[in-house]
């Protein structure tokens, strides 16, 4: 239960947010918070250094996490009035949480920021500028690096490697090779193609990009490395994902059976 001081802080932050964003934010950043206590401080310290962070709104959705992320988040709310904090009574899953954030978002563009991802300092600015300069596209995405070193900033980790960075296409999405980490997309994409399907736990973004691409969404890749993604055993985004991923992959295949058959057709 919120204390009186917490209620005052939330009300003050909300009022400041309304005054600050009477104009449209450039980007809404969505962050799902669950079992991320050991990552949240480093994550917030990292993302608030983005060159356009003050022009963004950042919605953090605490999905009834059993850990103690809240005091850290509320402390950052005091310094950054563009942070909006939503505490849920239950965990609806990442994509339902993102949908809640989308419905309250005010930004022209949307991006997701996971607790185990660290950004190059100007990555959001570059993605934003690219999509602004190409108004015919719905989504822009970039290359990323993987690391086994937890809570290391971009440029700080000593052991990094580059995964295959495939272009976003129906064929590659059928093979689960979409822009998993750092896309930035127009909020209007959801008006045209809908929200994330809440029954997914791991592959809901893959499903949405596939759904949108099949129905005519346009996208481009920014050919730069803009972030670093931690893939160690304690990765908070991917806990023991293999079995669940197989289930969701089969679900996507059944939903888009026609297109998967096309993907398997030899050239």
In sign, the C-alpha dihedral spanning 164, 53, 31, 151 is positive
Q: Is the pLDDT of residue 21 over 80?
A: no
Please check whether residue 103 is in contact with residue 28, taking contact to mean a CB–CB distance below 8 angstroms: no
pLDDT score of 239:
47
Please check whether residue 104 is in contact with residue 59, taking contact to mean a CB–CB distance below 8 angstroms: yes
Instruction: Count the residues in the chain.
Output: 267
The answer for residues whose C-beta is within 8 angstroms of residue 57's C-beta and 6 or more apart is 17, 21, 25, 27, 28, 29, 82, 83, 84, 105, 106, 107
Alpha-carbon distance of 188 to 110, in angstroms, equals 10
pLDDT band of 240, cuts 50, 70, 90: low
Range 173-179 average pLDDT: 62
Instruction: List, as own/partner pairs, every contact residues 160-165 make where C-beta atoms lie below 8 angstroms and the sequence separation is at least 24, other chains included.
Output: 160/228, 162/225, 165/221
CATH number at residue 73: 3.90.550.10
Q: Is the pLDDT of residue 261 over 70?
A: no
Q: pTM for this one?
A: 0.85
pLDDT score of 165:
60
pLDDT score of 40:
97
Ordered DSSP codes for 124-165: HHHHHHHHHH-TT-SEEEEEEEEESSTT--TTT-S-EEPPP-
* Residue recorded with tokens 């909006």: 84
Alpha-carbon distance of 140 to 222, in angstroms, equals 7
Poorest-pLDDT segment among 29-43, 105-119, 148-162: 148-162
pLDDT band of 266, cuts 50, 70, 90: very low
Q: Which domain holds residue 156?
A: 4-264
Tally of domains within the chain: 1
pLDDT band of 164, cuts 50, 70, 90: low
Find which of 21-25, 106-110, 149-153 is predicted with most confidence, using mean pLDDT.
106-110
pLDDT score of 28:
98
Pick the more confident residue, 242 or 223: 223
Range 182-209 average pLDDT: 94
pLDDT score of 143:
83
Find which of 94-108, 136-150, 214-228 is predicted with most confidence, using mean pLDDT.
94-108
Q: Is the pLDDT of residue 9 over 70?
A: no
């Amino acid at each position: 239960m919120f204390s009186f001081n917490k209620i005052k802080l939330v009300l003050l932050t909300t009022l400041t947010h309304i005054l600050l964003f009477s104009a449209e934010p450039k980007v809404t950043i969505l962050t799902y918070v669950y079992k991320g206590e050991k990552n949240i401080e480093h994550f917030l310290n990292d993302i608030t250094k983005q060159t356009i962070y003050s022009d963004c709104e950042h919605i953090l959705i605490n999905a009834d996490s059993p850990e103690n992320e809240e005091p850290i988040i509320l402390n950052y709310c005091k310094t950054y009035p563009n942070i909006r904090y939503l505490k849920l009574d239950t965990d609806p899953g990442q994509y339902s949480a993102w949908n809640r954030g989308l419905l309250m978002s005010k930004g022209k563009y949307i991006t997701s920021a996971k607790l185990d991802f660290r950004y190059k300092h100007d990555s959001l600015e570059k993605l934003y500028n690219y999509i602004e300069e190409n108004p015919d596209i719905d989504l822009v995405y970039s290359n990323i690096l993987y690391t086994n070193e937890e809570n290391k900033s971009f440029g700080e980790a000593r052991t990094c490697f580059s995964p295959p960075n495939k272009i976003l296409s129906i064929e590659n999405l059928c093979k689960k090779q979409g822009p998993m980490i750092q896309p930035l997309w127009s909020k209007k994409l959801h008006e045209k193609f809908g929200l994330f399907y809440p029954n997914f736990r791991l592959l809901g973004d893959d499903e949405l990009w596939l759904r949108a691409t099949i129905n005519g969404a346009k996208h481009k890749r920014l050919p730069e490395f803009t972030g670093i993604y931690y893939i160690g055993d304690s990765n908070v985004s991917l806990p023991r994902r293999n079995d669940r991923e197989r289930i969701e992959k089969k679900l996507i295949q059944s939903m888009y059976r026609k297109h998967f058959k096309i993907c398997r057709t030899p050239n």
